[in-house]
Structure 1
Amino acid sequence: MAKINKQVSSLILLLLLVICWSGNLTLRQRLTGLSGDVSVRYVEGAGVSPAQVSRAVRYGKEDGNDSFPELTLWREKRNQPLSDGTFRSGIADVLEFFGDGGSLMPVSMSRGSLPAKGDFQGCAVSKDVAQSLWGSGDVLGKTLVYNGVSYTVRGVFEGCKNLVFVQGGADDEDLYPALLLTFTEGGSNMVEDARNFMTRYSLPIGDILDMSLLLWLVNFLSALPAAVLVIWLVYRLLRQCFRLRFTPLLFIAFLVLAGGAIFLSAWAGNLMGLPQNLIPTKWSDFDYWGKLFQNSSNSLGTALRLSLTARDMQVWSAALTGTLLSVTGAVLSVPMVRRLRARSLNGLGLGCGIWFAAAFGASLFSGAVGGVSQNRGFWLAVPAILISLYAVGLFESHLTFNEKGGIG
């Protein structure tokens, strides 16, 4: 009975770790799409109009600017009355944008797509808005009436409640209070790049937000379960090395084994290398990290000071939830591996097989709800640790056998 209870608890730990790790990586990928750009915010009554953006794009083409960023304007209007043009009506938040709506707020489309740039007669609705107005999710081609204007539904999306996307017109002179710049090549100082770009093309400059520091922190924390496992493995290996310090040949042999185990586990855990945005673009750019930290920390402070938009709420929700899942996964990782640790080759194969099966199931579920494929660390970190522990266990059992046989 005790053995069955141990197996059940081991399986529960494994499933919880898989869920936390997979969920964290999915949220990290979503945050990557939300935080890899530079956004500009304006005070009430100020902003940039689609007409200004259209002129800047035209001037950029005339200049032959190959690194011209993608520009997307947006504004949010809460609790707006909507109707289907007949007798049904409802209330929803409306995100009016000009440019690429997908870069503003990545959503999982169940049908159709977001209205393309220039499609100022098209809209996209969340699934609950479609159910509220038409009683169905199959509403492509239906007419939505908002602010006295009729729009044709181009797509239905999931993941956001009571939200409607509406594309603005290229000649619109109305000011939008938020601008998103997506640079084709990330520079060492995207805040400065954004300011120089806006000055060059006569666009007003507001509060410029670069969330790359937040993205780096979330990327770092997403590797926390694998990092904890590798650190724990290093600790166990150092203890064994200390025991063998007076036997040089065994010490050297174990050191080679330990080095291979650490290298394999670190590689499998995807812990090697620096994130691309932390690598200086110039050999002599000694101020790179200082500027990056200063600009990013200032941007985080500004973002916390400004009123939260729906996009901001997605960013912070993904960051906080992903951090919680990553920390929980790190706490669960060592107890799970200790329970799953194999004493035989068959046990090692079974343990690795159980992990791969659970990881495959989580990957399928993530894909079904609009997630992404998981990285190498998610798939290989635990099997690599199990293999390393098995190899170390064989070495230790050999030492024990020799000691008992008087050969040590």
Structure 2
Amino acid sequence: MIRQVKHIIKVILIFALVMCWGITLGYTNNIEKENNTINFYFENGNIRADTIKNIEENKSDISVVGWTEKSLQSAINVDLNRNANDLKVLAIRGNSSLLFDGALLFQDDKDGCLIDTETSYKLFGSTHSIGKEITYGERKLIVRGIHDGTKSNIIVQLLEDDNEVLDGLTIDGTDMTLNKIEEFKTTFGIQEMAVSGGIYHSFAKVFSMVLPIIALVLILIKVITYFFKAKRRPVLKIIYISMAIITVAILFKITKLNFSIPLDMIPNKWSDFDFWSKMWKENVDKLQYVLYMKKYGIDIYNIENMMMSGLYSILTVILFVINLKVNKVKDIKELIYIVSVSVLCTFIAVLTIWSKFSFDVNITMLWVLYPLYLCGNYFMDVHEKYFKYEENEIIPEIRIKETVTN
């Protein structure tokens, strides 16, 4: 009975580990955008909606969308006599695809709008609201889709004669280097900092990589330790070096990590230390600016997902440590058993997360990382006695010489 309870506890711990890490990856993927965007947040009120037209005329190769957010707004469903109050309305000039993925609201669609799920229930009693009409102020709008990439409840296009002050401007930064960004700001009189649209996703991605990095470090520590213990055994040292390279290669393969340095970050002279200090100061200032600036609907949605990713990442690390203590692999049968349980738990976790959260977590990293760690750790632990060189071990050549001498 006690043995069965222990097996159940092991299965629960493995499932909890996979589930928490899957949710971490899910929240991270939830704010991943296909577009590489750059945001400007205006606080001085000197940029108006007609600036968008000026940018489009002079920089036709750059996709751009301006936006302003209004709070405490109301919308009405006249047919059902339903109201939705205390809404946030995001009024944009440009295509919504630059702000978030999913439902689209094109720039020339002045009669359309996007609403969130909660507002759809308030106005229609369900999410079947696409193609139906609502009234916002004096405008009658057709619901084009349900959005989930912002905390703004309704998204509309600014009318042609609207020249409101913009709260922000978003541009496509795919081909924008640091120098081109500065040139863009100078051309159109923008003084605010350029903030990457994927900054929150970058932080969330760091959270989701904590577990792979910890697993990699633990394996590498063992490899390095046994490397130095393998005295006068060059073959073993080659094996250890190969294991370290393979481990790092597998991590990069399953996590799809890519490291690149923008050309603008490389100074003309490597002795130009002022360049590096200036770049460091700019990055610190930008981080402080992001922390303290006013947050809008498109930011709050990303911040909430980032924070949830961080929270579940912490839980994942705690469960990983507990699993290391509880699920100790002593033989090959137990290894096969735990790996099989891990794969089964991953399958159930993926189905659960998809059905409840609609997160995309069905990725290679979730399936193979923990089993790979178990196999690598087992290989190092169980075969340790074959890898270590004992201090009192006598090399065969020395034994032969001693025999001849005697």
Give the TM-score category using the shorter length.
Answer: 0.7 to 0.9
In structure 1, what is the equivalent of residue 369 of structure 2?
A: 381
In structure 1, what is the equivalent of residue 27 of structure 2?
A: 27
In structure 2, what is the equivalent of residue 270 of structure 1?
A: 252
In structure 1, what is the equivalent of residue 51 of structure 2?
A: 52
1:324 to 285, 300, 311: 311
1:95 to 90, 94, 114: 90
Q: Deviations over 1:119-167 (max 9, x none)?
A: 1110111122111112121112211111111001111245767711112
Q: 1:36 to 1:320 in 2, by over 3 A?
A: farther
Q: 1:279 to 1:58 in 2, by over 3 A?
A: closer
In structure 1, what is the equivalent of residue 9 of structure 2?
A: 9
Q: Deviations over 1:265-303 (max 9, x none)?
A: 333333889744545467655578656543333222122
Where 1:174 maps in the other structure, the secondary structure is coil
- Read off the aligned partner of 2:284 and give its amino acid letter: S
Query: Which blocks of at least 5 consecutive residues in structure 1 are unaligned?
Result: 62-67
Are 1:258 and 2:235 matched, yes or no?
no
- Read off the aligned partner of 1:348 and give its amino acid letter: L
In structure 2, what is the equivalent of residue 64 of structure 1?
A: none
Q: Deviations over 1:28-76 (max 9, x none)?
A: 2334439953211222543231x32123212234xxxxxx332111111
CA contact (8 A) 1:76 1:94 kept: yes
Are 1:76 and 2:66 matched, yes or no?
no
1:177 to 167, 175, 183: 167
Are 1:360 and 2:347 matched, yes or no?
yes
In structure 1, what is the equivalent of residue 302 of structure 2?
A: 315
Q: 1:69 to 1:350 in 2, by over 3 A?
A: farther
In structure 2, what is the equivalent of residue 298 of structure 1?
A: 285
TM-score (norm 1): 0.80
Query: Which blocks of at least 5 consecutive residues in structure 2 are unaligned?
Result: 397-406
Where 1:269 maps in the other structure, the secondary structure is helix
1:396 to 384, 395, 401: 384
Where 1:114 maps in the other structure, the secondary structure is coil
Q: 1:214 to 1:153 in 2, by over 3 A?
A: closer
Are 1:209 and 2:209 matched, yes or no?
no
2:125 to 121, 132, 135: 135
- Provide the C-alpha distance between the structure 2 equivalents of 1:143 and 1:384, rounded to a whole number of angstroms: 54
Matched residues, percent identical?
Answer: 17
Q: CA deviation at 1:212?
A: 6.1
Number of aligned residue pairs: give it: 385
- Read off the aligned partner of 2:23 and give its amino acid letter: G
In structure 2, what is the equivalent of residue 248 of structure 1?
A: 232
- Provide the C-alpha distance between the structure 2 equivalents of 1:119 and 1:198, rounded to a whole number of angstroms: 28
TM-score (norm 2): 0.81
CA contact (8 A) 1:122 1:153 kept: yes
CA contact (8 A) 2:151 2:297 kept: no
CA contact (8 A) 1:278 1:289 kept: no
Task: After superposing the two structures, state which structure 1 stretch, 8-17 or 124-133, moved more.
Answer: 8-17
CA contact (8 A) 1:268 1:376 kept: no
Structure with bigger gyration radius: 2
Q: CA deviation at 1:217?
A: 4.2
CA contact (8 A) 1:232 1:334 kept: no
In structure 1, what is the equivalent of residue 220 of structure 2?
A: 234
Q: CA RMSD in A?
A: 3.5
CA contact (8 A) 1:28 1:322 kept: yes
In structure 1, what is the equivalent of residue 99 of structure 2?
A: 104
- Provide the C-alpha distance between the structure 2 equivalents of 1:203 and 1:170, rounded to a whole number of angstroms: 22
- Provide the C-alpha distance between the structure 2 equivalents of 1:407 and 1:194, rounded to a whole number of angstroms: 66
- Provide the C-alpha distance between the structure 2 equivalents of 1:7 and 1:289, rounded to a whole number of angstroms: 55
CA contact (8 A) 1:210 1:299 kept: no
